[in-house]
Structure 1
């Protein structure tokens, strides 16, 4: 993976941590997610005059990606109802890269060599190590772990479909823009069927953070889809999950969710993983 793609994916990781934190702290999380994704779809709509539409051959994958992203938008806030950001986020994001790597080998024929594979493994283990923090440990909330693992599976599924669809679309940005418009609208429509009052409350009281989160979410997805179209799926997925380091800092210094030695262990493993994924034989 080139240094340019590496840096862009790290930027996406920062944006991802930011919008996930806003989902965590801004009230009814499903309602917030609905508003955030709708605002993100408005941002994406502004880009329509400047992009080429994806090739019709990619439309089935685009439709599947929209459904998978929409499902993720509901699984994630539910998981946050049962666990802290410092627990749910590392497990969800850390379990996804290994699943993506296996899926990429099966569906895209992308078999990593030994050293980059160990880089992905180090990144995944380093990410999940954050969940062993003393105050957010695995043993304290098994239900949160189950929801987090379910979220990780949904992340892996949409990452694979995103990457394969973007490669088939001809226009990577066209695929990304249509995806973020579609999943934003669908998420809002589904949520509004039973969260209408909560959505109105979010608009009245938390519109500013929702706007910020919507912009960060769209930016993170656009960058990630662009990277998935140009680099191995498993490596992009693993590097993107370094967002947990940023989330760990946020959960420690802003949300006051505690700090432990596992965060130092995690940082070391992630640093080793990044180095190994950059290996060129």
Structure 2
């Protein structure tokens, strides 16, 4: 991997942690996520219009992915309402590849190596240590089920998107339509649930939501590009440095507590993810 690609992937990891931080900043986490979702629709349509329409058998995968993204965003938003970025993000981001590896070993034909099983064990230790910190630090415990729910939804859409893109044969078009489905489902769903007042916010909230959407799309686009010029497993592992970026952003930008156990847990989660991806 060249230095340019390495720096690009690290930039993508930073962007992913950054859009999560932007959602955390605002007074209404749900409102910020709705604005992000609204912005996803024109981006998805703009890309989709440059590609042929997917075949009929692809649409169930797109809809299933949209439903999983709805669950992912909902759980993640509620987790941020109850916990710190530096606590929620590592649990939600780290548990997902562990779940994919465990479920994939039983349901998919892809082989799981001894190193990957070792990664699952390290991941589990890191997540348990991070979750333990919630109890020992007197933090809001309701963040845990939401963070783990986000991880479960992430694992589901990861597997659905991987299989759906294979069925489609055109990953770019598939992802574009998933963006549209995701944006519409979450945006409309939350407006029906919480009411149109979510969108009655000041210009700053719209700017922050749009920035979060741009960062989200940029993180994804850079990662996909990198996978075309560098080994996929290496790119996937490097992306997980976003966990460390999120912990640092929470500590330096938001003044969240940085304990030895939290730093150690974040390191274990990153190490475990790397092992499961190589």
- RMSD between superposed Cα atoms in Å: 3.6
Once the two structures are TM-superposed, the CA of residue 21 in structure 1 deviates from its matched residue by 1.0
Match of 1:49 in 2: 49
| 1:259 paired to 2:253 | no
User: Residue 171 of structure 1 aligns with which residue?
Assistant: 170
Paired residue for 1:71? 71
Unaligned runs of 5+ residues in structure 2 are none
User: Alpha-carbon deviation of 1:64?
Assistant: 0.3
After superposing the two structures, state which structure 1 stretch, 253-262 or 11-20, moved more: 11-20
Distance 1:244 1:225, change over 3 A: same
Partner of residue 162, structure 1: 161
TM-score (norm: length of structure 2): 0.82
Shift in Å at residue 101 of structure 1? 0.6
Q: Give 1:25 deviation, angstroms.
A: 1.1
Question: Secondary structure at the residue paired with 1:111?
Answer: coil
CA distance in 1, matches of 2:138, 2:63: 38
SS in 1 for 2:54: coil
Mark the CA change 1:247 to 1:76 in structure 2 (over 3 Å): closer, same or farther. same
Cα deviation for residue 229 of structure 1 reads 11
Corresponding residue for residue 115 of structure 2? 115
What is the SS of the residue equivalent to 1:77?
helix
Contact between 1:162 and 1:225, CA under 8 Å: does it hold in 2?
no
Could you tell me which runs of 5 or more consecutive residues in structure 1 were left unpaired when the two chains were aligned.
none
Contact 2:238 2:274 in 1 (8 A): no
Structure 1 residue 105: Cα displacement: 2.2
**Which segment drifts farther, 41-50 or 144-153?**
41-50
Task: Report the Cα offset of residue 178 of structure 1.
Answer: 0.5
SS in 1 for 2:111: coil
Please report the TM-score for the alignment, with normalisation by the length of structure 1. 0.81
Alpha-carbon contact 1:118-1:276 (below 8 Å) kept: yes
Q: Matches of 2:163 and 2:229 in 1, distance apart?
A: 11
Q: Give the whole-Å Cα distance in 2 for the aligned partners of 1:278 and 1:2.
A: 19
Residue 28 in 1 paired to residue 25 in 2? no
Distance of 1:66 and 1:202 partners within structure 2: 26
CA distance, structure 1, for counterparts of residue 47 and residue 166 of structure 2: 20
Q: What is the correspondence of 1:128-167 to structure 2 with a 5 Å cutoff?
A: 129-130=129-130, 137=136, 140-167=139-166
User: 3-state DSSP class of the match of 1:142?
Assistant: coil
1:126-275 aligned within 5 A = 126=126, 129-130=129-130, 137=136, 140-222=139-221, 240-266=239-265, 268-269=267-268, 272-273=271-272
- Tell me how far apart the structure 1 counterparts of residues 108 and 121 of structure 2 sit (CA, whole Å): 19
Distance 2:164 2:192 in 1: 30
Tell me if structure 1 keeps the 8 A contact 2:94–2:127: yes
Q: Which residue of 1 aligns with 2:100?
A: 100
- Aligned equivalents of 1:123, 1:6: Cα separation in 2: 23
SS at match of 1:166: helix
Instruction: Tell me, yes or no, if the aligned pair for 1:53 and 1:171 is still in contact at 8 Å.
Output: no
Write the distance in 2 (CA, Å) between the matches of 1:222 and 1:128. 32
Distance 1:266 1:194 in 2: 36
